[in-house]
């Protein structure tokens, strides 16, 4: 029998620990059936292995997968889940890894050069600037278990790989652009913020990625205040990702875990 031990900080709102679709051979219909039968999380599942009315080889697979998942989770092995969960389902791990999230946004010169990388850890902001401390970013980002971005899968991460070819980002990745679209929230980051009533600094109202490029150009021409404005703009982008991630997680959790009969 697997030793049942709920970890410190475990919450009933967690979704990753009741997820089974990352286990090979286990699809959403089986996951839903397990929930309907009362297998609310991995711990409950492995505590009573004879209880579940799931045919073989699925039952053996899910029991073994749950035990392995508990081990990985309690070890903080985020890469185990990042490599097995479909990318669009990485949001499920947000609650469990909330304390190790990097809310991230990249600014560029309009081409392939990164000018600023902003990271918000939920409390403090860290910014890496080309020509100052950009080279410190690769070591720093490995401190985190999950990345939260807006369109990062298509822009920020590819841009980071172009500038740091040897860097491997193995974290879970919650990209809010496609995730919020699943919830009916469409458009760019600032449009979605407006829809939800998130307020930015009035001094930065109307600034966009294009203006961010112009601010960098102005800074390179000797206008130090332009960099200050660019860093403030970048900070607004990353700080607002946190409430958006919380909203997306809450709504998707409600939508995903609503039990319904499997036919």
Q: What pLDDT band is residue 261 in, cutting at 50, 70 and 90?
A: very low
pLDDT of 178 strictly over 90: yes
Contact 73, 22 (CB under 8 A): no
Q: Please tell me the pTM assigned to this model.
A: 0.91
Strands (E), the chain: 101-108, 114-120, 125-129, 146-149, 172-175
Torsion of CA 32, 38, 44, 45, to 10 degrees: -50
Structure tokens that stand for 44 in this block: 């409950």
pLDDT tens, 188-213?
Answer: 888 898 888 887 776 766 677 788 99
Sheet strand arrangement including 146-149: 125-129, 114-120, 101-108, 146-149, 172-175
pLDDT of 64 strictly over 60: yes
pLDDT of residue 263: 38
Q: What pLDDT band is residue 67 in, cutting at 50, 70 and 90?
A: very high
């Amino acid at each position: 029998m697997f030793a049942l031990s709920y970890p410190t900080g475990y919450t009933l709102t967690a979704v990753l620990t009741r997820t089974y679709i990352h286990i090979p051979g286990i699809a959403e219909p089986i996951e839903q059936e397990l929930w309907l039968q009362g297998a609310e999380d991995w711990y409950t599942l492995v505590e009573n292995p004879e209880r579940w009315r799931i045919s073989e080889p699925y039952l053996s697979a899910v029991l073994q997968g749950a035990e392995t998942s508990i081990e990985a989770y309690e070890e903080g092995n985020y890469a185990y889940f990042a490599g097995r969960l479909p990318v669009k389902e990485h949001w499920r791990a947000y609650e469990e890894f909330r304390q190790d999230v990097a809310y991230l946004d990249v600014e560029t010169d309009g081409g392939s050069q990164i000018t600023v990388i902003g990271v918000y850890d939920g409390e403090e902001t860290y910014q890496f600037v080309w020509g100052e401390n950009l080279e410190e970013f690769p070591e720093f980002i490995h401190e985190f278990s999950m990345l939260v971005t807006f369109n990062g899968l298509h822009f920020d991460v590819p841009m980071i790989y172009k500038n740091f070819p040897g860097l491997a980002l193995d974290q879970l990745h919650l990209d809010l652009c496609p995730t919020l679209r699943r919830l009916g929230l469409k458009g760019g980051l600032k449009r979605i913020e407006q829809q939800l009533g998130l307020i930015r600094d009035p001094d930065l109202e109307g600034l966009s990625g294009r203006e961010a490029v112009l601010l960098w150009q102005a800074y390179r021409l000797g206008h130090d205040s332009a960099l200050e404005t660019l860093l403030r703009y970048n900070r607004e982008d990353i700080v607002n990702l946190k409430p958006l991630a919380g909203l997306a997680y809450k709504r998707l959790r409600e939508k995903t875990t609503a039990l319904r009969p499997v036919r």
